[in-house]
Structure 1
Amino acid sequence: MAVMKAGLYISEKEVMVGELDKPTLKQGEALIRVSYAGICGTDMMIYSGKHPRAKAPLAMGHEFSGVIEELNGESAFSVGDRVVIEPTLSCGTCEACRSGQFHVCKTLKLIGIDMHGGFAEYAAVPLHRLHVIPEGLSDAHAALAEPVAVAVHTVRRSNLKVGDNVVILGAGPIGLLIGLMARQAGANEIIVSDISPYRLEKARELGFTALDAKKVDVTEEVLSLTNGIGGDIVFEVAGTQITAKQMVEVSRIQGQIMVVSVYKQAPAVNLAGMHFREISMATTRCYTGSDFKTAIQLMANGKIDVSPFISHELPLEQIVEGFKLMKNPDVSLKVLFKPN
């Protein structure tokens, strides 16, 4: 059987370049020659040995683009098409799936987490998980469709209205993309907090008000910037006890908190503080098929420019270096691998 190069998660905090069998297609699948694959926060969770489903050895990578090399089954796609992968895999039979909410499937799986993904020369992908990359959108930018879709879904699930003031706690890729999406939706002031000078500078470059949580009291600053009112919509994207506390403090009366982070440990939340100000809270998981298509369209028509997010492009042979870079938020935002 033919083999291929792959970047493999081996054990806690250990990745390496090795080999896997080149995928053999099942009916209804396409063989994708991977062009670009990005490291996500979930990949970092796998790398740290804290993901409950990912099993080593695994070619991670659920944010990726590529070219169709082979097809097995009837399809509107053609060999040679440039495509981006929508990595979610739903069961189709649970209550959520039966009601059309496939993204909250009871047993939702992802390519690159529950099976080999884009950190390899090739990946086998179900045909219904492929989207053609529009002309004019680069393969590298298309690889970020997945995190852009997360931002689309998050803002769509919020109550954001034109002219609202927005607070984003966390200036990682998702937090900053939510800021761009909130601007598209008509937000007025967009305030972003973080502890990384590098990521805060990115926030400023994108036109946001950036607060260094190491130097200022975030709650006091947000209230000062909003005339003592607070944010209409607060997006919690850092996943810490500190931001779980701040998200209530910086919200206005009858404001909304959107919890985007996946907390590894249950945080303490001031429910009484929410109660007396009638603050509402909603959560967001990933994205729908519609969100994913919208993400591609927004990038293709220039409404969302993801070029500032790509801090590094590395060959797959530098997978160890790539994860070291992603561990340091003062030097990286989004690291992309080029397997071929």
Structure 2
Amino acid sequence: MLTVVCETPGTLRAHDTPKPERAEGEVLLRVKRVGVCGTDLHIFTGNQPYLNYPRVMGHELSGIVEEAPEGGALQAGDTVYVMPYLSCGTCIACRAGKTNCCTRIQVLGVHRDGAFTEYLSVPQQFVHKANGVTLDQAAMVEFLAIGAHAVRRAQVQKGQRVLVVGAGPIGMAAMIFAKLRGAAVTALDSRQDRLNFCTSALGVSAGVTLGDSDEAELATLTNQEFFDVVFDATGNPKAMERGFKFVAHGGTYTLISVVASNITFSDPEFHKREMTLMGSRNATTEDFQTVLEAMRAGLIPTALNTHRMPLADVPEKFKDLLNPTAGVIKAIVEC
């Protein structure tokens, strides 16, 4: 079968690998679609700190069941999506239902080989039917669930002012679900094309361009009060530190981004606001279900999928997805 391996940063190669055999308790999948995530781009460029090379990338996937354990919920021919966070089920986080931050988590495409391949065998508890959605939609559930999880953690309420810093796919996912909760959403980013997409396709209230006047513009938009909830989805330490100043008194700051760096902030500014600071990692089954329900109700813009390519073209064309002029929001690989 065809498997594309990131052997070293910047080097992708196609290999003919053996079709995996289904282990006990696993489901053998025929991979059909794989969403390209910022994590994959970081792996390719060598900016993913939690990974060893070589690695088969890809954790946003949908497929068709080839083989499944007898007596289980899945059967051959079922269309499915995969929760790529393979949690242990027994650690302190898992016992509390927080499988997204399992102490021994193994993420497909990061800690173990992922879905840039034709067949994949996955523990059955992480494979779920994708009833009522297309293969393309099922491959986009995961990144949207990350945004849904962040919005749920921040307890976004109707009528609140929300700022999302970073208008990549994860930031857009947070915008979508904050807006579905009735918040007035503002996007802040350096790329005008992304901001235009957020206002036209996602319906956010305002898009503000990063620059010398952005703080004044954000203040004007909020009557000098700033935002009830701020999300950072930049993956940039300086941006994450700067975001503290955009949080209103009594507000919440949620870091969706993770960076291999220390983050510092002014304690007097933090305390006088009685600010709530939280991290948001991955997503849970509840968040995946939230996304699926929104998809089935037609609430997720199909315009998010802007690019696609066959798996065989990935070694040669993957680098094109890094070109800002290409206008990539979400690319899907067809297997």
In structure 1, give the amino acid aligned to 2:248.
R
Deviations 1:251-298 (A, max 9, x none): 111111111100232233233321222222111011111111221221
1:311 paired residue among 281, 306, 309: 306
Asked if 1:115 is matched to 2:112, the reply is yes
Deviation at 1:246, TM superposition (A): 3.0
Amino acid across the alignment from 2:198: A
Q: In the alignment, which of 286, 289, 295 is matched to residue 290 of structure 1?
A: 286
Distance in 2 (CA, whole Å) between partners of 1:123 and 1:25 is: 9
Match of 1:19 in 2: 16
Distance 1:321 1:204, change over 3 A: farther
**Amino acid of the structure 2 residue aligned with 1:47:** F
Contact 1:25–1:72 (8 Å) recurs in 2: no
Task: Work out the CA distance in 2 between the residues paired with 1:171 and 1:193.
Answer: 7
- Change beyond 3 A, Cα 1:322–1:183: farther
CA contact (8 A) 1:27 1:73 kept: no
SS at match of 2:188: strand
Tell me the equivalent position of 1:104: 101
How far 1:73 sits from its partner (Å)? 4.1
Residue 67 (structure 1) shift: 0.5
Q: Which moved more, 1:138-147 or 1:11-20?
A: 11-20
Counterpart of 1:47 in structure 2 is 44
The answer (yes or no) to whether the contact 1:7–1:120 under 8 Å persists in 2 is: yes
State the distance in 1 between where 2:306 and 2:225 align.
Answer: 36
Q: With the length of structure 1 as denominator, give the TM-score of the two structures.
A: 0.93
Q: List gaps (5 residues or longer) in structure 1.
A: none
How many angstroms does 1:51 deviate by? 3.2
1:179-328, aligned counterparts within 5 Å? 179-187=175-183, 189-205=184-200, 206-208=202-204, 209-214=206-211, 217-305=213-301, 307-328=302-323
What SS class does the counterpart of residue 239 from structure 2 fall into? Answer: helix
Please, which runs of 5 or more residues in structure 2 have no aligned partner? Answer: none
Q: Decide whether the 8 Å contact of 1:218 with 1:246 is kept in 2.
A: no
Q: Look up the equivalent residue of 1:316 and give its one-letter code.
A: L
CA distance in 2, matches of 1:326, 1:183: 28
- Amino acid of the structure 2 residue aligned with 1:164: Q
Q: Are 1:198 and 1:329, in contact at CA under 8 Å, matched by a contact in 2?
A: no
Decide whether the 8 Å contact of 2:79 with 2:129 is kept in 1: yes
Q: Does the C-alpha gap of structure 1 residues 257 and 24 become closer, same or farther in structure 2, counting only changes over 3 Å?
A: same
What residue is the counterpart of 1:335 in the other structure?
331
CA contact (8 A) 2:237 2:259 kept: no
Deviations 1:106-130 (A, max 9, x none): 1111122222221111111111111
CA distance in 2, matches of 1:119, 1:240: 27
The residue that corresponds to 1:178 in the other structure is 174
Identity of aligned residues (%): 31
Q: State yes or no: 1:83 paired with 2:114.
A: no
8 A contact 2:161–2:228 mirrored in 1: yes
**1:167 Cα offset (Å):** 0.5
Which of 130, 136, 149 aligns to 1:153? It is: 149
Matched, 1:126 2:123: yes
CA RMSD of aligned residues (A): 1.7
* One-letter code aligned to 1:193: L
Counterpart selection for 2:134 from 128, 134, 138: 138
Q: Give the alignment's TM-score, normalised by structure 2.
A: 0.94
What residue identity is the alignment partner of 1:26? A
User: Which amino acid in the other structure matches residue 227 of structure 1?
Assistant: N
* Other-structure match for 1:71: 68
Alignment CA distance shift 1:95-1:63 (3 Å): same
